[in-house]
Amino acid sequence: MTAQLIDGKSFANTLRERYKIIVNEGMQTGKTQPGLAVILVGNDPASEIYVKNKRLACEQVNIKSIFHHLTDEVSEAHLIELIQSLNDDKKVHGILLQLPLPKHIDAEKVLECIDPKKDVDGFHPYNLGRLAQRRPLLRPCTPLGVILLLEHIQQTFKGKQAVVIGASNIVGRPMAMEFLLAGSTVTICHRFTTDLSYYSKQADILVSAVGIPGLIKGEWIKEGATVVDIGITRLSDGSLTGDIEFDAAKQRAAWITPVPGGVGPMTVAMLIRNTLSAADYL
């Protein structure tokens, strides 16, 4: 068996074209242009690239991007003050605070200051709580992107064993809640899991979001499984790789996402989707 590739880049491009039409048609009927405020603190090279790509993607679908680039010496109080002013700005429908933040800033405290209705990352406790209660509003972008990508390949969820490796608040935990919402039986593995290979071998749908190259061995993949690799690491030669031994895994899986070109583009597409939802376009 050789797995079919799940082309997240192509599907994300299709979604973005669809969203662009929705925005243009909405504005022609007199709707306010969707506005996304992006806050970057400091000069982390990876964060700068992520922010640039997110802003470019939004502008391509006619979302107004409002950029606030703060120094890494900015005080927590000043950052919260900026967020509160954006909460009150009617031209801003979504607020994106790029993580990580400098160590002197409490990220959880600052994220809670974002109006849940403008929380397009889906990280606010209110939005995570709504997802846990099976009443989702704005949903975390990467897990939502995974679900839509799997629906695109007509993956079934009910009765399937979904195994999520990684328990972060940003990806792993909301990913597990998305699978529960879809009707799967869910197992979450984390740093205290004692036999990762055992749980991996049970997975009809395996999702890894850790960021450790080669963590998941190819022989751990169940025959015919769907494999989603969210982890991404840049190696010393400049290439990008995921958590899963790709070449070996694709000999056993039915479907597998590549790194790059799998989940990453879907995350950005879901940011656009959430911004349009917050602006009442969807």
- Residues designated catalytic: 54, 98, 121
> What is the Cα–Cα distance from 236 to 231, expressed in whole angstroms?
16
CA–CA separation, 187 vs 114, rounded Å? 31
Tell me the C-alpha distance between 87 and 100, whole Å: 21
- Run of H or E residues at 41: strand 35-41
Q: Give all strands (DSSP E) within 145-268, no chain letters.
A: 161-165, 185-189, 205-208, 226-229, 233-234, 240-241, 255-256
Question: What is the helix (H) or strand (E) element at residue 128, kind and residue range?
Answer: helix 125-132
Task: Write the single-letter amino acid at 208.
Answer: S
How crowded is residue 280: how many other Cβ atoms within 10 Å of its Cβ?
A: 11
DSSP string, 86-122: HHH-TT--EEEEPSPPPTTS-HHHHHTTS-GGGBTT-
| Cα–Cα distance for residue pair 104/241, rounded to 1 Å | 31
DSSP helix/strand/coil, 256: strand
For residues 279 and 31, what is the distance between their CA atoms, to the nearest angstrom? 9
